[in-house]
């Protein structure tokens, strides 16, 4: 059974990067403390408060060339977190993120930048999301694509398989384009609050 490696924030960036290269994903525990998570929650709360969890953005996404039914319902979503939460900015500039981005993205570019940010509050009964690669919008490159994206998911609350922990297919960043994941190759990222899941744009 494949699994997502778990390392500690005290481990070296080289260890984190080694896991990303080999498994395409890694969970790093104890990256954010309680006070930081509480501040993010407090700063985002008024924005999340006014979101309708049933407002579907699929039509807009499809019109833009995105996959059909990409976004599950029963979920509150807000974007532009850098503008909305001062504390969230410390995640973007966290030394772990910068060293991982330097190692994974810098060999392919002059500068890298924040691609998109979103906070998700998954409600009861939300369906699973369709498996995808974060780099899928760049269809002009064939899989396996050059490395363009390093994704992260910061656990502000505990992630479990039951409450919607992100589904990852370890090792799939190295797969040929036509290989489809079997159900037993899909792993839910279970991680306690304070952890961050990193994954390659090709995973
Ligand atoms: O549910 C969403 O808003 C998108 C989440 C997503 O694309 C992902 O977790 O990779």
Structural domains in the chain, CATH included, are 6-200 (2.60.120.620)
Model pTM? 0.96
Give percent above pLDDT 70 in the chain.
Answer: 100
Q: By C-alpha distance, which of 138, 140, 128, 155 is closest to 70?
A: 128
Query: DSSP code of 185?
Result: G
Q: What pLDDT, in 10s, does the model give residues 10-28?
A: 999 999 999 999 999 999 9
pLDDT at residue 95 above 90? yes
Q: What pLDDT, in 10s, does the model give residues 136-174?
A: 999 999 999 999 999 999 999 999 999 999 999 999 999
Atom 8 of ligand 1, nearest CA residue: 166
Q: How many residues are there in the chain?
A: 203
Distances (CA, A) of 73 to 55, 123, 158, 179: 8, 8, 21, 28
For a pocket test of ligand 1, which of 66, 117, 118, 163 has the largest count of ligand atoms closer than 8 A to its C-beta?
118
């Amino acid at each position: 059974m494949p699994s997502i490696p778990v390392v500690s924030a005290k481990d070296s960036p080289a260890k984190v990067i080694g896991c990303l290269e080999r498994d395409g994903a890694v969970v790093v525990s104890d990256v954010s403390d309680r006070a930081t998570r509480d501040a993010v929650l407090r700063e985002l709360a008024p924005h999340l408060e006014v979101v309708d969890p049933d407002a579907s953005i699929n039509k807009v996404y499809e019109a833009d060339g995105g996959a059909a039914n990409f976004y599950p319902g029963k979920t509150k979503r807000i974007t532009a977190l850098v503008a909305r939460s001062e504390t969230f900015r410390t995640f973007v500039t966290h030394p772990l993120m910068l060293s991982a981005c330097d190692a994974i993205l810098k060999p392919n570019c002059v500068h890298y930048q924040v691609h998109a940010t979103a906070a998700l509050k998954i409600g009861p009964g939300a369906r699973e999301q369709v498996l995808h690669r974060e780099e899928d919008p760049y269809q002009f490159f064939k899989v396996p694509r050059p490395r363009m994206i390093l994704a992260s998911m910061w656990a502000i609350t505990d992630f479990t398989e039951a409450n919607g922990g992100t589904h990852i297919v370890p090792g799939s960043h190295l797969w040929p384009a036509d290989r489809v994941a079997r159900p037993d190759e899909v792993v839910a990222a279970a991680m306690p609050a304070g952890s961050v899941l990193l994954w390659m744009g090709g995973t």
